[in-house]
Each structure stands twice: as C-alpha cells, then as structure tokens.
Amino acid sequence: MNRQEIIIKTESFVQDTLQGSEAGHDWSHIERVVRNARTIAAGEKADPFVIELAALLHDIADSKFHNGNEELGPERSERFLKGLDLPSELVDHVVNIVRNVSFKNELDPSKEDRFDSIELQVLKDADRLDAMGAIGVARAFHYGGYKNRALYDSSIKPVEKQSKEQYKTSKAPTINHFYEKLLLLKDKMNTQTGRKMAEERHAFMESFLDHFYREWEGR
C-alpha cells in the first residue's frame, strides 16, 4: 500500500471505531485536529505522514471513556498499524505519540524522561487548539452536560496545579475546567504556529468568561 491508501484505511478504521462517541471526542474532533496539525506542520521540519497517522489515532480509545485505561488507545493503535505491515520504527513512533499526547500526562511528575519528538509537539498543539476558542467552549459544556455537571458554582473553587489523579477524577462545574486546563493551554504551546493560533482562541475564552459572569449576575 502507498501512503494515501494507508491514510484512507486509517480514516475508515477510526470512523468505524468512534461511531456513537461523545460529540467532543468524535470523528469531527479528529478531522479538526488533523486540519490543525496540517497547518502547524507546514511550518515545522516534521514528518507529515507520522503526524497524519497520529492525529487520526490519537483519540481511538480516550481513557476517560474506558474506565481510566490509558494503554487501550496505544494498544489499539499498535495492533491496527501492525496489521498494515508498516515498519516497526514508524509504528513505535506513532504509538508513542498516542501514548503521550494527552494534557493529563504533563501533570505526572514521575515521567520526567517521557518520549518527545517534533511530531508529538505538533500534535499536542493541534489537539489543544481544539480545546480552545469557540469550539473549546462548546466542547467543554457538551462534556459537562454529558457528565451531568453544574455549569458554575461559586462555592467550588478551581484547583490550582492539579495532580494527574485530581484531574482525572474531578467532578467540578464546567467553568472550573477553564481555569484548570483551557486557559493554561496558550502558554503550553510547543510550536510558533501553534502559539500564534492559540492567541485569538485564548482571547475568545477570556471574553466568553467575562460575558458569562456578567450574565450570571443579571448584568
């Protein structure tokens, strides 16, 4: 198979696997992350094939929908890619990206020697951009509704510098998620293009929160 045929097979596999997924982590999310990744990769010396495969597979089994199992996604990705008879170095690289792309992994201080590559940095930025801006706001509240969480509760304060376990088990109101993750993403971008794209999306979220609080108070 040539690269285009491999991409098409991967797209089909991911679409089939994610049927019926929560709307913030469905095939549309994958498509947006792929487009973000292409935009960012254009300005980086990175392997576009690795980035495309990793972007397609990065949420093939998000741990929060699989009882916290963080190895299911990498395992599914590896099994699928090996089934395509791809070089082991390519498979290992893509699987390591899938294993390390999540924001929550950076909250674990025990992983100081974690895997890194420019392709991982591109995908991190691409995925995080989809958690920001108008789409980020929509995704946050959709997931909050999916988990039956309150919109906002002034008595429940955001947790600064959460641990990985606190992040994974949080049941806080959706507004808290902005302070515990979404507003932190701008300063965690890895690439120049990612940082530039994040600026406008970050500003949108700040404006949204300002409007939210004024409307909450009847102003």
Query: Number of folded domains in the chain?
Result: 1
CATH of the domain at 65: 1.10.3210.50
Select from 36, 38, 1, 13 the least CA-distant residue to 127.
36
**Structural domain boundaries enclosing 149:** 3-216
pLDDT digits (tens, 9 = 90+) for 124-174: 999 999 999 999 999 999 999 999 999 999 999 999 877 777 877 788 999
Q: How many CB atoms lie within 10 A of CB 153?
A: 13
So what's the pLDDT on residue 157? 95
Q: Tell whether the model's pLDDT for residue 2 goes beyond 70.
A: yes
1 Cβ contact list (under 8 Å, min separation 6): 9, 84
Look up residue 93 and give its two tokens.
Answer: 């690289």
Q: Return the closest-CA partner of residue 105 out of 49, 138, 62, 66.
A: 62
Alpha carbon distance, N-terminus to C-terminus of the chain? 60
pLDDT over 70, % of the chain: 94
Please give the Cα distance from 79 to 76 (Å, whole number): 5
**Could you read off the pLDDT of 56-86 as tens digits, one per residue?**
999 997 767 666 577 888 999 999 999 999 9
pTM here is 0.91
* Angle separating helix axes 88-100 and 48-57, nearest 10 degrees: 50
- Whether 133 and 185 have beta carbons less than 8 Å apart is answered as no
Q: Which residue, chain included where needed, has tokens 């606190």?
A: 166
* Burial category of 120 from C-beta neighbours within 10 Å (exposed 0-12, middle 13-18, buried 19 and up): buried
**Residue 41: Cβ within 10 Å count:** 24
Phi, psi of 18, rounded to the nearest 5 degrees: -95, 10
Cα–Cα distance, 119 to 49 (Å, whole number): 10
Query: What letter does residue 18 receive in the DSSP assignment?
Result: T
